[in-house]
Amino acid sequence: MQTKDHKVLVANRGEIAIRIVQACRKLGLAFTCVYTAEDAASGHVRIARELGGDKSLYRVSSYHDANELMAVADDAGATAVHPGYGFFAEDYRFARRVSQRDRKLIFIGPSWRVIRELGDKINTKRLARSLGVPTVPGSDRPIYDEMEAEKVAQSLFEFQEQQGIRKPLVLVKASAGGGGMGIEEVYDIDLFRSVYRRIRNYALRQFKDEGVLIEQRIRDFNHLEVQVVSDRSGRNPVHFGTRNCSIQSTGLQKRIEIAPGFDPSSIEYGFDAAQVLRDITQHSLAMARKVGYDNVGTWEWIVTRDGRPFLMEVNTRIQVENGVSATIARVRGQKGVDIIAEQIRIGLGEPLGYGQEDITFEGVGIEYRLIAEDPDNRFTPWVGRVDGFGWPERPWLAMHTHVPSDDPYDIPTEFDPNLALAIIWGKDLAEARERGVEFLDTLVLEGANNAGEPLRSNVRFLRDNTGRILKF
Amino acid sequence: MDTEKRTQHLAERLGYIRDVFGGKHNENIALLESKLQEFNLRLSEGSISDENAALTTLEDLFDFVERKLEAELTPMDKVRIVRHPQRICLRDILENVYDNYTEIGGKDEHSIDPSMLIARAYITRRSGKKTINQPVLVIGQEKGHGEEFRNGGSVKPWGNAKALQYMKVAETEGIPIHTYVFTPGSYPVEDYPGAAQQIARNLYEMAGLRVPVIAVFSEGGSGGAEAIGLSDRRLMLSHGYYSVISPEGAAAIEGRLRHGQRAAPELIEKCAQQLRITAEDNLRMGYIDHVVTEPPLGARPYHYDFFRGLRQEIIRATDEVILGVKGFAPFRAMVLRRRRGKAETMDLDNMYVRWSLSSSAKDRLVSRRHRKFNRLARNAARDRRPVLRKLSNMGWDAWWDIYSYFKYDLLRKHQQKIAYLVEEVEAEAQVLMEKVAAPWRKITCALPGGACQSSEQTERELTTLSDWDEEGQRNGNWSYVSPRAKEDRAITCPNADSHGCLDLWAPDLFGEFAGVCTYCGHHFPMEYQWYLHNVFDEGSIFEFNAEIEAGNPLGFEGFDVKLEQAKKQTGLKSGCVTFEARIDNVKLVVAMLVAPFRGGSVGAAEGEKFVQAAERAKKKRYPFLAYVHGTAGIRIQEGTNGVIQMPRCTMAVRRYIEAGGLYLVLYDTNSYAGPLASFLGCSPYQFSIRSANIGFAGPGVIKETTGVDIPPDYHRAYRALSRGHIQGIWDRRDARMNLKQALLTMGGRNLYYR
Amino acid sequence: MFDITQLLDEIKASPYEEIVVAAPHTGVVTFADVREGSRVIGPSGTWKEKKGTLLATIERERNQKPIHAVEKGEVKEVLRHLEGTFVEAGTPLVRLRHFLSKDEVLAIILKKALHLFVAPERAKYYFAPDVDKKVKASGASSVSLHEGMDLFIMSRMKREASLAYSGPSGVIYAVYFQHNENVDAGQPLIGVCPPDQLSLIEDVVARVQTEWEERE
């Protein structure tokens, strides 16, 4: 089957759905979108109506119901499914169902075995260690025995003291958990037992597994990522550079992402930043090769103040911030890299067609996440209507949004109140920062809620933080 | 007696005959009717010269016709006799058979359960010139000639509990128990103590009662009968019935009727016939020891001769049991033996047998009772094991007895003593060493490269790959995958409306999720193979007694074909699979009731296999697990051959538990009726997978017998837990882990790994 | 205050409500044997365990899902042109004309009589844990309210905030929100009955009980 004959079901909403549709059009592929009753005003619905062909838009009961997606795919004649991010993106069962059902579809993402393997915290950590990839000090298997747990915690405290860490912390987490649930910090070994028991009981209740992981809690770090791309052969993964995502909300949600991850050319670091970036990309690719990684993915790292990187986890999906890597990347010197389009193309089975040596980087990219929220009040989401939304077009600016700029838009309460992603490019860090501030200053974003209170957004927060980007 | 009373009495006899034959033998009835009418007419005209003579003639005619019809009685007629309000009831027996009685815990409707009557009674006998009152405890269902509040003798769980309480009293006081079975079946409510669970408790306790128990069956309706029917001597009234199910119930099942529909009378009649429910049938099969003859067309309250006969029989039975286990009484035993079968001229009132037993006689009594039941129904199953194998098995059994004794009793005791001693010494030494070494260790640690762990080693431990035996981490990779997991389709959870569960994909649901809804935790039933492969250690299963096959001991029409079908469909020979297996290397014996084989119903073969499995576990000192994939109850087509498995298996279980084993029961899908009311319900460790429905009777039966609507979740495992019927509910995916835990922490002293 | 007689008369003048039975999700529709004018019933049985009249089945991923009537009424329209076609979620399939039941009439009138506590924002609402325990154990009417007590948890955008009650003291007489469903801003969440109005409310209930005749 030719790539062009495929039809892609866009199993997502909002901004990412729009970008997938755009990528499909770039590749000349047909597509089908879905939406729910709450989400009827979303931009992706509009774009599907405008640009879609026959059977290109369906109302479904829920984005979370895989059966809806399968049923729509069959009725629309879709041959592939793009999960976007969130929802089913890292659900290996969904990927497995898609590829094993009677009417098979292509899952545009890594194969389900890879998702399962890297979706498991312990598995990933053990894989990393088996390849000599640095991971956070601590256990790499679930611990069931209280004595053993205490011993690990004890040596973690000692280890940190030897490292000269003044207030060592140990993290106890349910090995079967995820998403920040069932995690607690311990600052004193005497308190360890009670915390351990609490977490163990929580894990037993919640996940039916008593196992806990005990790790060093690293506090002072930068959050870095490596963008990996690999075709279905799984043999030749390449990277599209690094990103720095250290500027986050209090709830540890990313707000500003910058590519590349450090800028040793303009900023002094207390360690060899270039070497760290080289190390984490090489480690990431080594792991990708080992598991036969066969689509796009992100290796997440933390880098301590003394320049030690530790692998955190692997995100087996396209990420929100993929565009910021694309904006500084050049393939054979060409601009206009689109990682989502590449994902679809290789996902459908085409070979990547170029190697690491063909990929170069130029300048600095900044991505702002524009969100209706109140940064002064623990980033509480704001709900209401957006009346005015506009910005001057710039050659160095790319806006990704599902919010219409010519119509008022009610923010649905079902989802996070993300409004847009703004990606800014500058030839160096200084220029990128300057342009970022310029963009934020000229942005129009107005609205009001039922009570008549004006829209709250994180624009000020983004502007205030632009000054400190890439500094460590 | 005056004429009016006598004619009235004849009218009652006529009505009785009419009721009993339910529309048959109309010409005889018409004859009696016309003669009676004629007599009445002439009486009112005053044209009878000698009223007395005429009446006597008429009475003789009635007697004649009754005797004639007696020969024509069908099993269903006997069922109607037993159900008739004119049928004798327990109160009549207390009045006429015993010399004195005091009802305990009840006066008419003022009783915790008026259907269960308990009385202290005595029988007066003479020994030479002495008069001796021999106390007994009388327990039985009271139908009260149709009194509404007696509930037809259908006893509620608390009624059976009361019966058990007083059996224990009799045991304490050392007096015999006489039970009278007058019940169509137990009242199927689940309220504590629960119909099934209470009967099970009764059976378990009766299996070990250290006083003689004599049972007399008039109406032996299945589980309700067993609740007081496990005894050393089982007598039966000649016009009674003893059956696994009412003929109507059997007809409903045979005719595959939905509830509310009525079965045709012919079908009911045929079922009554096929179920072999009469006294002769049960005597022939061995489930009854002796039949007490009733007057033609059954005993009614005015049959005083009958009561006299019954008194003799009941005394004789008690004497026989007592003398059978007493050390010395050759003459009296001879008297009893000789008089058996002779003309009814004996008078046991004039022979005295002391109804109390020494401790060793009590032991013999109980073990005789166990042997008696263990022998029953052995021929009702088809044992295809070759003779040689049977013999070698017997030899093997004997060897295991000896081996176990040496290994666990003799050696173990000495070993343990030595082990304890060594432990103590070690602990002492440890403390001493600690004290001596502590200062030294401090010094060495302070030195570079000292004996304590180096920091590089700590770092290596914390940052490099550790050894991890991943075995046991299934992560949804089950060894057996249901065939339903091969279909590409979505499944709706039954709780979807209330819990908002999304449809699940069958391969996920029946594969990785092990049949558990990931949204609400609802357990879809799974195949028994799932448990075989995912609960026990890989390849550890070794089946035994596979050759014992379910048969058709009653020759129930059409059942051979159905049985063959079941065998072909399941590839099994009976509904009970017994095997040895291991869970995390702990060996155990398992008896599994398999739902797809005739609903997991229990007949003679299943019972025999269960008993043998319990015996095997006892010999080898293995834990014993009854895994109930599902059971619909006793297999009705085997009649009392099936019912008798209730006491039989319960007794086997009791022997096992008393030998110090661990008897675990695990319910999985629908588990109902007889087995639950006996050998399953008596376990102190009954657990349930979340998918189980547990109860005495299914919803349809409850609706039909009680007329009460029951909520849809009436039998769910959680309700059973709330009622105190089971001890815990397990997630299917944790069954192995929980069983492992149970094996290590529960049960008696005599397990091989303790 | 309101005039209950007038209200009842108004409802009696138009005692019907249209119920639209829509596809719960996508799938291929097959209508059951119902036609315009025929009577349907809602769930019945002591525990409402028997489903209402079968209206249609919708098949998705080889899973047949029956769609039953949730209220009694008369079939006004069957959108028969959808037979055998793949429909989107929420597509109307059958319209029913439902004669208001006593309880429903009562609910309408009570909405006017009670003090309504409304949702401040579109969100999902849950009773606060303490309250929830009480509601589950002995019913909503066992909860007595006073100004400022923590009553609800308001959940939106994956974040939860607690919501305090404001209004007159009293007991919860009616609950208008459903578990796990969004409530629009301004919609009532609960109806509160202050103690001094209890007798008035009981009058209303009695009036409806006697004056409203149930009809098929």
Note whether B462 contacts A62, CB cutoff 8 Å: no
Q: Which of C46, C61, C180 sits opposite B490 (nearest CB)?
A: C61
HSE, CB side, 13 Å, CA atoms: give it for residue B463: 18
Cross-strand pairs, A34: A58
Does domain C4-100 correspond to CATH entry 2.40.50.100?
yes
Note whether C63 contacts B500, CB cutoff 8 Å: no
Contacts for B484 with CB less than 8 Å, ≥ 6 apart = B506, B510
Note whether B505 contacts C61, CB cutoff 8 Å: yes
* Cis ω before B193 (30° cut-off from 0): yes
DSSP-derived 3-state class of residue C156: strand
- How many helices and strands in chain B, by DSSP H and E? 28, 22
Taking alpha carbons only, the member of A214, A212, A122 closest to residue B475 is: A122
What superfamily would CATH give domain A137-216?
Answer: ATP-grasp fold, A domain (3.30.1490.20)
First-to-last CA distance in chain B?
76
pLDDT of C214 reads: 74
pLDDT of C120 reads: 86
CA distance A250 to chain C (A): 14
Same fold, C4-100 and C103-211: yes
Nearest CA in chain C to A414: C157
Which regions of B54-203 does DSSP assign to beta strands (E)?
100-103, 106-107, 110-111, 116-127, 130-141, 177-183
Contacts for B103 with CB less than 8 Å, ≥ 6 apart = B94, B117, B118, B119
Q: What is the mean pLDDT of chain A?
A: 92
CA distance B376 to chain A (A): 46
Selected residue of B458, B462, B491, B740 to mutate for chain A interface (largest A Cβ count, 10 A): B462
pLDDT beyond 60 at C176: yes
- Measured CA angle at A94 (ends A89, A99), to 5 deg: 110
Element (H, E) at B628: strand B624-628
| In contact, B217 and B234? CB cutoff 8 Å | yes
pLDDT of B448 reads: 53
Q: Which of B458, B464, B734 sits opposite A159 (nearest CB)?
A: B458
DSSP A458: S
Q: Which region, left, alpha or beta, applies to residue A414 given φ > 0 means left and ψ of -120 to 50 means alpha?
A: alpha
User: d(Cα B208, Cα B653) in Å, to the nearest integer?
Assistant: 11
Interface contact B503, partner A, CB < 8 A:
yes
Cross-strand pairs, A369: A421
Q: Which of C60, C89, C185 sits opposite A59 (nearest CB)?
A: C89
Nearest CA in chain B to C45: B709
**Which residues in chain B touch residue C45, judged by CB atoms under 8 angstroms apart?**
709
* Interface list for B 470-499 with A (CB within 8 A): 475, 488, 490
ipTM, two decimals = 0.90
Interface contact C27, partner A, CB < 8 A:
yes
Kindly report the CATH class assigned to A3-108: alpha beta
- Lowest-pLDDT choice from A43-52, A299-308, B258-267, C81-90: B258-267
CA distance C198 to chain B (A): 32
Taking alpha carbons only, the member of B347, B296, B233 closest to residue B65 is: B296
User: d(Cα B560, Cα B274) in Å, to the nearest integer?
Assistant: 13
Q: pLDDT band at residue A178, thresholds of 50, 70 and 90? A: low
Interface contact A67, partner B, CB < 8 A:
yes
Average pLDDT over residues A274-293: 96
Instruction: Flag residues of chain B having pLDDT under 70.
Output: 1, 259-260, 328-346, 408-413, 438-453, 469-476
Q: Which stretches within B230-386 are classed as H helix? A: 247-254, 265-274, 279-285, 304-325, 330-339, 359-375
Q: Which one has a higher pLDDT value, A206 or B159? A: B159
CA distance C189 to chain B (A): 20
pLDDT of C1 reads: 54
pLDDT of B476 reads: 66
Alpha carbon dihedral A195, A198, A199, A202, in 10-degree steps, equals -170
Kindly report the CATH class assigned to C103-211: mainly beta
Interface contact C157, partner A, CB < 8 A:
yes
**Which residues in chain C touch residue A249, judged by CB atoms under 8 angstroms apart?**
none
- How many helices and strands in chain C, by DSSP H and E? 4, 16
Q: Which of C24, C89, C157 sits opposite A417 (nearest CB)?
A: C157
Note whether C159 contacts A413, CB cutoff 8 Å: no
Nearest CA in chain B to C181: B500
CA distance A135 to chain B (A): 7
Give the pair of three-digit tokens for residue C208: 């409806």
All structural domains of chain B with their residue ranges: 3-72, 83-375, 481-521, 528-745
Note whether B462 contacts A159, CB cutoff 8 Å: yes
CA distance A141 to chain B (A): 7
* CATH, domain B528-745, list 3.90.226.10, 1.10.357.10, 3.20.20.140, 1.20.1250.20: 3.90.226.10
What superfamily would CATH give domain A221-466?
Answer: ATP-grasp fold, B domain (3.30.470.20)
User: d(Cα B406, Cα B389) in Å, to the nearest integer?
Assistant: 25
Does domain B83-375 correspond to CATH entry 3.90.226.10?
yes
- Relative to beta strand A57-59, strand A80-82 is unpaired
Give the pair of three-digit tokens for residue B609: 């296999």
| In contact, A101 and A94? CB cutoff 8 Å | no
User: d(Cα A83, Cα A2) in Å, to the nearest integer?
Assistant: 21
pLDDT of C208 reads: 82
DSSP B454: P
Q: pLDDT band at residue C114, thresholds of 50, 70 and 90? A: confident
First-to-last CA distance in chain C?
32
pLDDT beyond 80 at A208: no
- Relative to beta strand B130-141, strand B177-183 is parallel
Interface of A with C (CB under 8 A): 36-38, 58-61, 65, 67-68, 70-72, 75, 380-381, 383, 413-417, 449-450
User: d(Cα A70, Cα B685) in Å, to the nearest integer?
Assistant: 46
Cross-strand pairs, A401: A420
**Which residues in chain C touch residue A450, judged by CB atoms under 8 angstroms apart?**
121, 185-186
- Please identify which residue in the block is written with the tokens 């249209």: C18
Give the pair of three-digit tokens for residue B317: 């039975």
Contacts for B471 with CB less than 8 Å, ≥ 6 apart = none
| In contact, B535 and B739? CB cutoff 8 Å | yes
| In contact, C127 and C65? CB cutoff 8 Å | no
User: d(Cα B236, Cα B278) in Å, to the nearest integer?
Assistant: 9
Rg (CA), chain A: 23
All structural domains of chain A with their residue ranges: 3-108, 137-216, 221-466
Give the pair of three-digit tokens for residue B610: 């269960």
| In contact, B89 and B142? CB cutoff 8 Å | yes
| In contact, B230 and B276? CB cutoff 8 Å | no
Say whether A25 is catalytic.
Answer: no
Q: What is the largest CA-CA distance in chain B?
A: 135
* Interface list for A 136-165 with B (CB within 8 A): 137-141, 152, 155-156, 158-159, 162
Percent pLDDT > 90 in chain C is 35
DSSP string, A253-307: -EEEEEESS--TTTS--SS-HHHHHHHHHHHHHHHHHHHT--SEEEEEEEEETTS
Contacts for B41 with CB less than 8 Å, ≥ 6 apart = none
Taking alpha carbons only, the member of A460, A472, A467, A397 closest to residue A429 is: A467
Nearest CA in chain A to B509: A93
